[in-house]
Amino acid sequence: MSPKAALPKVKMKFTNRKLDSGMGRAVARRTYLRRVIDKTTKRERWETWREVAERVALGNTALLGSSFAAHRKQEQELLTKHISNGSVLMSGRHLQHGDKTQPGRNMEVFTNCSTASSSYTLFYLLMNGSGVGRPYDDDMCVVNWDNMPNVRCVMAADHPDFVWGVDESVRDAEHKYGKGDNIHWFHVPDSREGWAQAIEMIEIMAYEKKFKDDLLILDFSKVRAKGESIKGMQNRPSSGPKPLMNSIDKLATIKGADLSLWKQAMFVDHYLAECVLVGGARRSARIATKTWTDPEVFDFISIKRGGFLWSANNSVAVDEKFWKQKSGHARKVLDMILKASYEDGTGEPGFINQHRLVQNDEGYDGYQDGKYAQSKKYKPLKRTEKMLSHLARNAGAKLYSQIPNPCGEISLNMLGGYCVIADVVPYYAPTLDDAEEGFRAATRALIRVNTYMDSLYNREVKRTNRIGVGMTGIHEFAWNTYGFAFRDLIDEEKSQEFWNTIARFKRAVVDEAATYSKKLKVTVPHTNTTIKPSGTISKLFALTEGAHLPSMREYIRWVQYRSDDPQVKRYKDKGYPVKELQSYQGSTAVGFPTQPLICRLGMNGELVTAAEATPEEQYKWLMLLEKYWIVGVDTAGKPLEDTGNQVSYTLKYNPTKTSFKKYVEMVKKYQGLIKCCSVMPQQDATAYEYQPEQPVTISEFMRVLDEIEKDESLFEDIDYAHLQCESGACPI
């Protein structure tokens, strides 16, 4: 398995890329930088970006083991160089968790995207920080939760989180329920796996239909108390057992509610997602899909209206037959989706063009043994395999078995799968050759994660070896290298040189994926290129995010603090704008003037923001990205075999300028021509007292900037409102 062939020599000089001095540094401290002990001063300080690059590269290349010493050393140096330079930005999961311990950790912690076909696997993946997609098709919801046992959550009376008069103690439960054939006790282990096992117990007992009158008692005595540190999360504080206990109490209310099986699953998963969100550091990012041919798809279209089941973004899975609109059912479904997404102002439900997602079924039939969701760290109950086999048979009978992850940039097997992702920033590469070297280095790094890390979906990872090499800072690269602004780029003939370069990078990824996979004797990745939202990562260097245009030229980032926080006075004394919030009693907002990098490049009035681009222009941009980067073309301009994932993109339209009639015409004309796209109205936030981002003119921006006294000891801050994807697809 040794990759013996010589790799490109390290030519590009090391650069310790400086984080954006305001937002970038704030984002890095909030999400990625660790506190370390300085070797010279012996005092605690933040990591430098170079140190992040070194530990992430060390962790990734450590996956090769000791037998590939020369190759490993070369790859470590190359990856360190590119991450330090900012020309390769591994996704946030890698930046947060990457270090020498990576070979012993489970792959879920390093994956952005995943899918699940059962509630316990969905819950497990959410707890690992992964965004999860799940199909709620009638044939993919096989558990009738009306058949779940009666569930009770208990804990020892001496547990720090036990509240007398509220919680039931183990002692009381033993006295009240006793023991017997119909009484089932489960001691919940203090781990992600243990929490998932508790849900698995409920789910499999419901599936088996013979425990409806039994009692399942979940004992949370072993779960660490609220506030205790979690080693695998950089010692962040535990939420304690209460969030899961409360979720299970809510989950139990599904029994007897007379809901369809797919609705039951949606409520169960929502309650579990709420629990993850309450946990704090972990996110709860979900997408719920349902095929347009299901009889109750109309209920799915309207199920969130009024603010319900908010933890998932909903999309209807459609195909070529749907867009031809030959049947009355298809026309009714389209009309209802358009009405809901426009009138509610949410853009939901969206559309997933399943027929355009790359699907490779080689080796898929083997999943019918029900053993496709188990790892060294998590082994489901033997009896659970029957339920998983049932799901595999149903998925295998479907024409389309792929759905996307929550942000829409990856095509995944609906039974369960992952994608590991990285961004390349050609803008920061000194030459196009250096940029290509970065694309190839990122490709190899992602394949190593798939090859050498253990995961729940080991079989699917080995079968597909799916990766997602993306780009960010695309608009900066286009202007810096070719002098092309957005409207030049959507003129394909005018900007052909740029698009040929993008196609060159695609071919490099395809070539490297095949070559490196052959060397490691693994499957060539079924999909290889993508463009993810890249919101948090791009903010490190104030770059335009993924495929998106900048949302604003200059703006004030308002961050909320408690009014009695001493930091507020420090900011105020240094001239930062400060305002007391009337809507949030006891809260004060501090404003930080912010300007994206692209506004500093001197584009001579050619810069286009997202609000200024027409929907038609944005659809054209997406189609060109799909042509040259997702699918790719050869040197003669002919399409390659499609091995791409998707472009994650949120297309904004102005509802005051776009009538419902125009909106309908736009969606019908363009939405069926691309793989995925979120279409959402621009929000007018001026009516709200607290706006996370307030647009200002350049003169207002400079005035605020001039009033601030520089202080190297006072850093800008950021809150979670600024770290969410604009579409809301991946809430943190």
Share of the chain above pLDDT 90, in %: 72
Residue 299 has pLDDT above 50, yes or no: yes
The answer to whether 728 and 314 are in contact (CB under 8 A) is no
More confident residue, 732 or 63: 63
Distance separating alpha carbons of residues 251 and 77, to the nearest angstrom:
50
Over the stretch 460-479, which tens digit does the pLDDT of each residue have? 999 999 999 999 999 999 99
Residue 58 has pLDDT above 60, yes or no: yes
* Mean pLDDT score, 308-322: 94
Confidence of residue 79 (pLDDT cuts 50, 70, 90): very high
Distance separating alpha carbons of residues 101 and 59, to the nearest angstrom:
7
* Mean pLDDT score, 278-301: 83
Over the stretch 160-211, which tens digit does the pLDDT of each residue have? 999 999 999 999 999 999 888 999 999 999 999 999 999 999 999 999 999 9
The answer to whether 205 and 143 are in contact (CB under 8 A) is no
Confidence of residue 87 (pLDDT cuts 50, 70, 90): very high
Confidence of residue 310 (pLDDT cuts 50, 70, 90): confident
Strand spans (E) along 106-226: 113-116, 131-135, 150-155, 168-169, 183-187, 215-219
The whole-number pLDDT of residue 345 equals 84
Residue 643 has pLDDT above 70, yes or no: yes
Domains of the chain, with CATH numbers?
149-254 (3.30.1620.10), 555-593+690-732 (3.90.1390.10)
Over the stretch 517-559, which tens digit does the pLDDT of each residue have? 999 999 999 999 999 999 889 999 999 999 999 988 988 888 8
Confidence of residue 731 (pLDDT cuts 50, 70, 90): very low
For residue 411, give Cα distances in angstroms to 31, 186, 311, 422.
27, 37, 21, 16
* Mean pLDDT score, 343-347: 87
- From the list 182, 203, 220, the residue with the least C-alpha distance to 255 is 203
Residue 2 has pLDDT above 80, yes or no: no
Place of tokens 């070719």: 482
The whole-number pLDDT of residue 690 equals 67
* Mean pLDDT score, 90-102: 95
The whole-number pLDDT of residue 232 equals 56
Structure tokens at 2: 């040794």
Structure tokens at 558: 């308002």
The whole-number pLDDT of residue 281 equals 42
The whole-number pLDDT of residue 723 equals 59
* Mean pLDDT score, 414-433: 96
* Angle value at C-alpha 145, between 385 and 349, nearest 5 degrees: 95
Residue 708 has pLDDT above 60, yes or no: yes
The whole-number pLDDT of residue 277 equals 74
Distance separating alpha carbons of residues 668 and 335, to the nearest angstrom:
10
Structure tokens at 55: 């530990």
Over the stretch 605-614, which tens digit does the pLDDT of each residue have? 899 999 899 9
Q: How would you label 311-347 residue by residue, b for 16+ Cβ within 10 Å and e otherwise?
A: bbbbbbbbbeebbeeeeeebeebbebbbebbbebebb
* Mean pLDDT score, 34-53: 94
* Mean pLDDT score, 448-452: 97
* Mean pLDDT score, 218-245: 80
Residue 584 has pLDDT above 80, yes or no: no
Over the stretch 111-162, which tens digit does the pLDDT of each residue have? 988 999 999 999 999 988 888 999 999 999 999 999 999 999 999 999 999 9
* Mean pLDDT score, 261-283: 82
Alpha helices, DSSP H only, in 160-241? Answer: 170-177, 192-208
The answer to whether 447 and 523 are in contact (CB under 8 A) is no
More confident residue, 280 or 620: 620
Q: Mean pLDDT lowest for which of 293-302, 406-415, 521-530, 723-732?
A: 723-732
The whole-number pLDDT of residue 728 equals 46
Span between the terminal Cα atoms of the chain, in Å: 39
The whole-number pLDDT of residue 222 equals 94
